[in-house]
Amino acid sequence: MRYLLYAIFLCLVAGTCSGDDDLCDKSSCQECTNVNTGGGSELCRWCPLSRSCHVANDRQETPCPVELDIDEASECPPDVIQDEFNATAAYHKALLTSVSYSEYPDLCLEKIQELEPLFDYEIMNDNFIAERCDDFIFDYNVCVAMVTVSHSNREIVLSYRGTTQTKQLVDEVLTALFLKKLNFYNHGNVQQYFLKAFNKLRPCVMDRLKATINMFPDYRVTVNGHSLGGAMASIMSMYIKVNKTVLKDKMSLFTFGQPRTGDKTFAVAHDRLVPHSWRIVHHMDIVSHVPLCHPHCDDGDVTTNYHHGVEIFYDSKSMADHSEFTVCQANHDNSCSRKYTKLHSDFIKYYRENIKLLAQPLKFMFAYDTDFIEDHRMYYNFPLGSYCVSLLGVDRRRKRSVGDAFHDGLRDDTCTTLYLNSTTNAWTPRDPALPYTPKPKPTAVSSSSTLKISLICHGLFLIVGNIHFLAKIHF
């Protein structure tokens, strides 16, 4: 009997008895942590990754490491109403994202408004912002952000452009593979390329955004973006909250095909600070599963690549604003887009194993690019990166010419707002005090280029035989 009583005592202390399990069977963070204040000191912990309550000492029932457990109600992320997601609003944000890809944003907006009567967004003066992002391997990368206003919705929207160049995509891949993440205001770590691209535009974007907020102080602020733009939008939403630019209940985030932007600590902090966050994933979109977190998604590694919530999953090839979707219950819900992880892993494994046989990976890519690649390009049944090109009827040759002029009109050290001279087909800074002077072409390899060359050598396996794969992701 003495040993039986001793076993029961240990059971109670460890918090593994069935009664304690039932006690921690709570559906919200507030209910879970309130158990502790009611006399069960540190008995129950809330896991923000799985959005579930568990016994404090039971690590087998939770994907959370101890560092991310929540045991006080004051640390709980705000509750988000599960049916709050508005598909029509998301569709409009996707349209705005497509406009940010265009070299003719004003014309594209006008064309969309002809097709969508309820779409009344306009670009405020000097609110199309761009800068050359050439700090990495290749020297033809452009970062773009755009601020629009809808008076009928009483809304200010900040949209980020995604990747537009194969070279830029290679930069993103190589930096994710070979460079460590950077700290983000003690709220976890994020990928270097995403953070540096964000910081390139941040001063000008914040100036334009604050100026627009001052003009319309009662308007809600929404941030959105596709792919790389989704990662930058995610970081900006955190930056806005850290700097208290906008109240928590007056800001929303919509991203489309967003890659894993930071680690688990960043994801948890994001969920707490930006509760009205909708990470939209279309079917088998492969970009939403990179950089890889496998096999560390569900273990205690807080440094692994990880998604913040809330995932909105469209599990069909056709994706309209009236299509069915799932509001996923966890950051990496196995019943949502993650159920295709096995297919993505098989794709990557096959590719790596056959990289030396160039014809083999190409054959495999041709077989699967419709599912993996097209789902990244197509959101709400239109290609985000090239929608404006199709609407305006701009041929690829002219688009390339305009894109070249656009890039050449930008400065490396100053983000600026540009306008297109329809006569000369050249982009010109609105501020004449900031004329653009082309940089002279280098005549020799500098010491700083050594790292670039080294990374290129390390990344040849991604480039060789990969042209088809890379080119089709965003075009």
Q: Looking at the predicted structure, is the pLDDT value of residue 220 above 50?
A: yes
Q: Residue 114 and residue 18: Cα distance in Å, rounded?
A: 62
Q: How far apart are the first and last CA of the chain?
A: 74
155-160 and 220-226 beta bridge pairing: parallel
Residues 270, 203 share a domain: yes
Domain boundary among 75, 92, 120: 75
pLDDT tens-digit map of 340-383: 876 655 555 555 555 444 444 444 444 444 567 789 889 999 99
Assigned domain for 49 exists:
yes
Assigned domain for 429 exists:
no
At 52, the pLDDT band (50, 70, 90 cuts) reads confident
Assigned domain for 350 exists:
yes
Predicted pLDDT of residue 13? 44
Please answer whether residues 228 and 473 qualify as being in contact, where contact means their C-beta atoms are separated by less than 8 angstroms.
Answer: no
Assigned domain for 228 exists:
yes
Residues 56, 180 share a domain: no
At 457, the pLDDT band (50, 70, 90 cuts) reads very low
Residues 270, 172 share a domain: yes
**Percent of the chain residues topping a pLDDT of 90:** 34
pLDDT-wise least confident of 153-162, 260-269, 398-407, 435-444? 435-444
Residues 312, 338 share a domain: yes
Structurally, the chain folds into a number of domains equal to 2
Predicted pLDDT of residue 299? 77
Residues 212, 271 share a domain: yes
List of E strands, 151-185: 155-160, 182-183
Assigned domain for 472 exists:
no
Environment class of residue 171 by beta-carbon count within 10 Å: exposed (0-12), middle (13-18) or buried (19+)?
buried
At 471, the pLDDT band (50, 70, 90 cuts) reads very low
Higher pLDDT, 278 or 449: 278
- Work out the average pLDDT over 262-272: 93
Q: Residue 266 and residue 182: Cα distance in Å, rounded?
A: 11
At 165, the pLDDT band (50, 70, 90 cuts) reads low
Higher pLDDT, 331 or 419: 331
CB neighbours (10 Å) of residue 249? 10
pLDDT-wise least confident of 20-24, 208-212, 354-358, 445-449? 445-449
At 92, the pLDDT band (50, 70, 90 cuts) reads very high
pLDDT tens-digit map of 93-126: 999 999 999 878 888 898 999 999 889 999 876 6
pLDDT-wise least confident of 253-267, 281-295, 442-456? 442-456
Please answer whether residues 295 and 309 qualify as being in contact, where contact means their C-beta atoms are separated by less than 8 angstroms.
Answer: no
State the Cα angle at 269 between 202 and 172, rounded to 5°: 50
Domain boundary among 15, 44, 75: 75
Q: Residue 298 and residue 49: Cα distance in Å, rounded?
A: 9
Predicted pLDDT of residue 458? 41
At 9, the pLDDT band (50, 70, 90 cuts) reads very low
Residues 95, 191 share a domain: yes
Residues 20, 127 share a domain: no
The CATH code of the domain that includes 189 is 3.40.50.1820
pLDDT tens-digit map of 166-175: 666 666 767 7
Residue 165, domain extent: 83-383
Residues 165, 22 share a domain: no
Q: In this structure, what token pair is assigned to residue 132?
A: 């050359």
Instruction: Report the DSSP beta bridge partners of residue 254.
Output: 224, 278
Assigned domain for 218 exists:
yes
Mean pLDDT of the chain: 76
Residue that has been written with the tokens 């158990």 in this structure? 35
Q: In this structure, what token pair is assigned to residue 195?
A: 């953070």
Assigned domain for 421 exists:
no
Q: Residue 211 and residue 99: Cα distance in Å, rounded?
A: 21
Domain boundary among 45, 75, 105: 75
What DSSP element (H or E) covers 232? helix 228-242
Residues 164, 293 share a domain: yes
Predicted pLDDT of residue 49? 84
Predicted pLDDT of residue 139? 61
Please answer whether residues 409 and 436 qualify as being in contact, where contact means their C-beta atoms are separated by less than 8 angstroms.
Answer: yes
pTM: 0.79
**Percent of the chain residues topping a pLDDT of 70:** 65
Cα 27 → chain centroid: 27
Predicted pLDDT of residue 350? 52
At 50, the pLDDT band (50, 70, 90 cuts) reads confident
Higher pLDDT, 349 or 165: 165
Residues 99, 59 share a domain: no
Predicted pLDDT of residue 266? 95
